[in-house]
A and B are shown apart, each in its own frame.
Chain A
Amino acid sequence: MKRYIARILFSIFFAILILSFYSYSEDMKSFRIATTTSIYDSGFLDFVAPEFEKKSNIKLSFLSVGSGQAVRIFKNGDADGIIIHEKSFLDDLKKQKLIQKYTPFVSNQFILVGPKSKKDLFKKVKSIHAAFLIIKDRNLKFVSRADNSATYIRELEIWKLAKTEPDFKGYIKSGQGMGMSLNLANEKEAFILTDEATFYKMKDKLDRLDIVYQNPGEEILSNTYYFAFSPGKTKLAFFEMFLKSKEFKRLVASFNQKYFKKEIYRAAK
């Protein structure tokens, strides 16, 4: 009996050993970056990272989660770097001395999309909050992410700017990611605030939706992605440098060309 138990324990131990070596050897070398879903889901990071890895021999792996969760993971020390598009989150991290600085590296815009049939309603609209007011006043359908995402935070800011609350009947809280929420808006023929890259990436599936309002000049609609890393992970400074390099700008241009055939992502100056 004793020998039998010993053997079982030994095999368990052995299995654990092999497995842990396996996962260690693979993961110890790479730096983990918690990223917001939108920029990862567009394929942009997976397009850029291999070029950086080739040059620097530093491996990156991305955890694609919502902005709120990304901050949480980073705060707990479970990720070495973070990419998000909500400045206030980063200012908080800076205040808590979890990061030294953050670097804007790429941007696109937020746009309002909605059913093609209602596009004419927004022809004369001059600002995004005026467009929101039309949706509320006419009690049209509007899909809200209603999660802790940067897109949702921006949406709330716009409601605030319009000096009103989104308390109308057509307001739908999806609680899901950008892609799923866009699908929902398409099914329900509702309006939704989204970023340009995700919309264009999914456009052929969103047959009922079209852009109803966009304005590159409007500050509240600018959508900038920032990179930051924890001070202990000095090697990630190379990635930061890479994000400012000429080569990165070239990669942004070729990504736009390959997937959008027009300039959606703009490298930060």
Chain B
Amino acid sequence: MIANVIVSTLIVCIPSTIISLIIGIPAGFFLKIKRFRARRLVLRLVYTFSGLPPVLAGLFVYIILSRKGPLGFLNILFTRWAMIIAQVILIVPIVIMYTLSGLKNVQMVLDNLDFLNVKGKKRYIALVREYSKELIYATILGLSRAISEVGAVLIVGGNIEGETRILTTAIIYEITKGEFSSALLLGAVLLIISFAFNTILQILQGDIVD
């Protein structure tokens, strides 16, 4: 049973982090270098949404995906897919925020690349190399939020055993039943997984920096 829960946790949290990075990093990069009219407003929105209460994100996704909602025809409420959508909404602003603060001296780096006439594919590779440390930080932050979040996934996932029950929702469930010892056990598993992820990412980071 616990194996099921762990598998579900990974199946939800890893894709939601990857999707958030795919959306958040380019968006952060864009906001960092481009100057446009509504930029300040967009930044303010990003900061606001990075503190979005998960239950509110959950309620929002729930209403949208409910069969009576605008995307009801997709029929994905109470599936892992719905949980991923809710988590992406929560993680993207965090990734954007971190990308914004992590891209120090980006204009200088870009000017240097122009000067060296690095173009096309190589330019992106050079940028990713330059900021690999920051990108990994963003990954760690995103993954931590994904794996520890409970309010949103409980609402949109429904905590169905073997499908949408992940570690955090299983902990809540055990607590409501008064089974504190099982809840603690699940909590320990959660911490171990989180620790393993961080270790892997830190090793990766060390490799790149050295």
A interface with B by C-beta (< 8 Å): 4, 8, 11-12, 15, 19-20, 22-24, 26-27, 32, 37, 41, 46, 61-65, 76-78, 176-177, 179-180, 182-183, 201-202, 205
Contact = CB atoms under 8 A, between A and B. Distances in A.
Interface in B12-36: 15, 18-19, 22-23, 26
A15 B18 contact: yes
B163 A27 contact: yes
Contacts of A76: 66-68
Contact of A64 (B15, B22, B159): B159
B163 A63 contact: no
A23 B79 contact: yes
B80 interface: yes
Contacts of B84: 19
A22 B178 CA distance: 33
Contacts of A23: 76, 79-81
Contact of A11 (B22, B66, B77, B177): B22
Given A11-B22, A32-B78, A78-B77, A62 B178 contact: no
Contacts of B15: 15, 19
A37 B72 CA distance: 25
A77 B75 CA distance: 10
Contacts of B158: 63, 65
A41 B80 contact: no
B109 interface: no
Nearest to A26: B163
Contact of A202 (B67, B162, B177): B177
B161 interface: yes
Nearest to A4: B124
25 contacts: A11-B22, A15-B15, A19-B15, A19-B81, A22-B81, A23-B76, A24-B76, A26-B163, A41-B176, A61-B160, A61-B162, A62-B160, A62-B161, A63-B78, A63-B158, A64-B159, A64-B173, A77-B66, A77-B72, A78-B67, A177-B176, A179-B178, A180-B176, A183-B178, A205-B178
A152 to B, nearest CB: 15
Contact of B26 (A8, A63, A183): A8
Contacts of B160: 32, 61-63
Interface string B49-66: 000000000000000001
B159 A63 contact: yes
Nearest to B22: A12
Contacts of A77: 66-68, 72
Which of A15, A23, A32, A37 has the largest count of B CB atoms less than 10 A from its CB? A23
B137 to A, nearest CB: 21
B175 interface: yes
4 smallest A-B Cβ distances: which pairs? A77-B67, A23-B79, A23-B81, A63-B158
B79 A180 contact: no
A64 B163 CA distance: 13
B185 to A, nearest CB: 16
A12 B19 contact: yes
Contacts of A64: 159, 173
Most buried by A among B66, B68, B81: B81
A180 B176 CA distance: 5
Contacts of B77: 78
